[in-house]
Amino acid sequence: MKKLVIIMSALTMGLAGCGTQSDDPANNPLLQEWNTPYQTPPFSKIELKHYEPAFDYAIEENRKEIEAIINNPEEPTFENTILAMEQSGELLGRVSGVFFVLNNSDTSEEMQQIALNVTPKLTELGNDISLNPELFKRVKAVYDKRSELNLDKEDMQLLEESYKSFERSGALLEGENKELYRKYSAELSELTLKFGQNALAATNAFALNITDAKQVEELPEFVKEGLAAEAEARGEQGWTVTLQAPSYSPFMTYSSQRDLKEKLYRAYNTRGIGGETDNLEIIRRITELRLKIAQLLGYECYADYVLEDRMAENRSTVTGFLNELCVATLNYAHQDVKAVTEYAHSLGFEGELMPWDWSYYNEKYKEEKYSINDEQIKPYFKLENAKEAVFMLANKLYGLTFTQVDNIETYNPEATVYEVRNADNKLMAVLYLDFFPRASKRQGAWMTEFRGVSIKDGEEQRPLVQLVMNFTKPTANTPSLLTFDEFTTFLHEFGHGLHGILAQGKYESINGTSVKRDFVELPSQIMENWATEKEYLDLWAKHYQTGEAMPAELIEKLVAAKNYLAAYFNIRQLSFGMLDMAWHTITEPYTGDVMAFENKAIAPTQVLPAVDGTAMGPAFTHIFSGGYATGYYGYKWAEVLAADAFSYFKEKGIFSKEVADKFRTEVLEKGGHEHPMILYVNFRGHKPQTQALIDQMGLGK
């Protein structure tokens, strides 16, 4: 049951033709035993025509497994009910693991259509399981006598999570309400999928081609090279800017062409507004369906339903947390904007600084204030060196080694594969790395798994972990040189990866990153801290051409600049969390103007002028198609945890084995085996304090 919930939360984008051979399980590679290293997916054998028949077959197999549990004549026990459910759906999990991972990172129109075809079937299966009264009766029978079963912590957690999953998926509903739950959840699954497809299509639909050399002459060479390579790849002359982050962000940062930047800004911030990729009505309907489901289950709003199963536990805690951070940092954010604006005026800029002006002038101000910019840093952050540096950090902290292999297939030529082993040479994971943007990949960066950690019949299954980024591409003349933000993103996603790689435990559904959503960002957020540690940078940051170490003076500037505009960026992040909470605390369906709703929700965080006709919500995939609904606050929540946790490393040494071993055993290995606050206190010795983050941002100093 929990496994199916995980599968459903992965639905994002997604088509296929069906050949007769692929209808036969014996001829479908997704359904066969994989005679590959570590049972990794044989991507070269899997064709689009295989997916839908494989889903149909695996769904039916899962139904048979569930029927066997229901019809078992023996009294319900942990083994014949809870454990049997946990181990059911293995084939479906394997098919879903391949399909939905690739649908995010290497999709096509055909795959997106397959996703639209199979999503209703998966939703129907999920509902048939969670709403089956006979199955729930068996689960409840075991749950009701849990205190007598002498279960260990993992078994007890699996039992409690299994029961809770039924309860929260409508098992206690009766009659018409059960059918309404089915109807609402089916439509919601399809709409969240469609939202993500629209956002990807809107991102890919716009490009700005520039043929006047004067309009790019001021850009750093690395930016011009990237734009020229994009133009060449498209068969265009000159330089092409897209809405992909490695293209859009550098142009907005280094170009003074206000008219072009306004055009780009408006394109970026109107994705999902109007036309074939319109998401406005989808937002209204998604939030209405979530509200209806929550109210069917007895909650006033969707946030109440979600947060009951989060570390924060209730909406008053979340809204209080967001407001506390906002009040503590808003004046500092206004001061940040004022300082950059005054600097822009000192350079001759007239009038109000608009959002499309912001990156250009704040970068210039940063360069003047700290004598540092990305052009200085990038030569020391060659992707291959950064990758080895991230591996080295994992080795120093956790004794892991990473060996690239060529005997394991990848799904795309740009992806690479590594065996990850511990100090005893035990295989811990297979790691897939996928660094560069392409039209078949959604924006952003993320970690996911083709499969997680579990133990069945005494045999341990280690995870197949995927890290996906959208970093600056190499060009004909220059290797991939990361910006500081890109390197920080690498560390962040690698932290998620470690959560999967180091996972231990019997049950996949509560191992690794299968934790409460507002706790899952701790392992990733804490890793970002090493990006500005001189002791770490000294070990690896070498110029890609000369091999010379990053000068101490440059490292000092990098460290000094780490809190530059910290309040502004904090407020910006809070605006995302507040918009998320606003949509999911409505108690009546919202039928008004979506953009007006957004403007009102983020008004307390508005420190730059609002731009009519633009909005972030229609492309906000995290909350409308990515599983973070009523959870975006979790990034700031985890920043507090990470700030407090990293202070322990600072106290004992940033490579302290003592602290790393404790973090590994109490947090990374245990996944969702216990309540996250218990795990955190076991590691740190006390509960986290919001002030730790404010102190780390250096505000008031």
- 394/534 same-domain check: yes
Please state, in angstroms and rounded to a whole number, the distance separating the CA atoms of residues 617 and 595: 8
Burial of 327 (0-12, 13-18, 19+ CB in 10 A): exposed
Which structural domain, as residue segments, surrounds residue 228?
206-271
Residue 582 lies in a domain: no
Q: Which of 331, 330, 354 is nearest to 344 (CA)?
A: 354
In tens, the pLDDT along 35-77 reads: 999 999 999 999 999 999 999 999 999 999 999 999 999 999 9
- 247/136 same-domain check: no
User: What was the pLDDT predicted at 366?
Assistant: 94
Per-residue pLDDT at 658 exceeds 80: yes
Alpha helices in 18-78 (DSSP H): 48-70
Total domains, the chain: 3
User: What was the pLDDT predicted at 10?
Assistant: 43
- 421/517 same-domain check: yes
- 154/217 same-domain check: no
Residue 157 lies in a domain: yes
Catalytic residues: 493
Q: Is the dihedral of CA 282, 284, 287, 290 positive or negative?
A: negative
CA angle 522/525/528 to nearest 5° reads 150
Residue 197 lies in a domain: no
The CATH code of the domain that includes 63 is 1.10.1370.40
Residue 536 lies in a domain: yes
Residue 639 lies in a domain: no
In tens, the pLDDT along 67-125 reads: 999 999 999 999 999 999 999 999 999 999 999 999 999 999 999 999 999 999 999 99
- 422/526 same-domain check: yes
- 161/227 same-domain check: no
- 146/218 same-domain check: no
Residue 91 lies in a domain: yes
Please state, in angstroms and rounded to a whole number, the distance separating the CA atoms of residues 659 and 654: 9
User: What was the pLDDT predicted at 298?
Assistant: 97
CB 478 within 8 A of CB 544: no
- 160/213 same-domain check: no
In tens, the pLDDT along 452-473 reads: 999 999 999 999 999 999 999 9
β-strand 464-468 against 427-434: which pairing, if any? parallel
Interval 667-685 mean pLDDT? 96
Structure tokens at 92: 């479906």
- 22/164 same-domain check: yes
Which of 238, 271, 304 is the endpoint of a domain? 271
- Average pLDDT taken over every residue of the chain: 94
- 533/410 same-domain check: yes
Q: Which of 163, 28, 176, 154 is nearest to 98 (CA)?
A: 28
- 158/221 same-domain check: no
User: What was the pLDDT predicted at 26?
Assistant: 82
Residue 138 lies in a domain: yes
Q: Which pLDDT band holds residue 20 (cuts at 50, 70, 90)?
A: very low
- 400/507 same-domain check: yes
Residue 60 lies in a domain: yes
In tens, the pLDDT along 567-590 reads: 999 999 999 999 999 999 999 999
pTM here?
0.90
Q: Which of 408, 411, 464, 410 is nearest to 111 (CA)?
A: 411
User: What was the pLDDT predicted at 695?
Assistant: 84
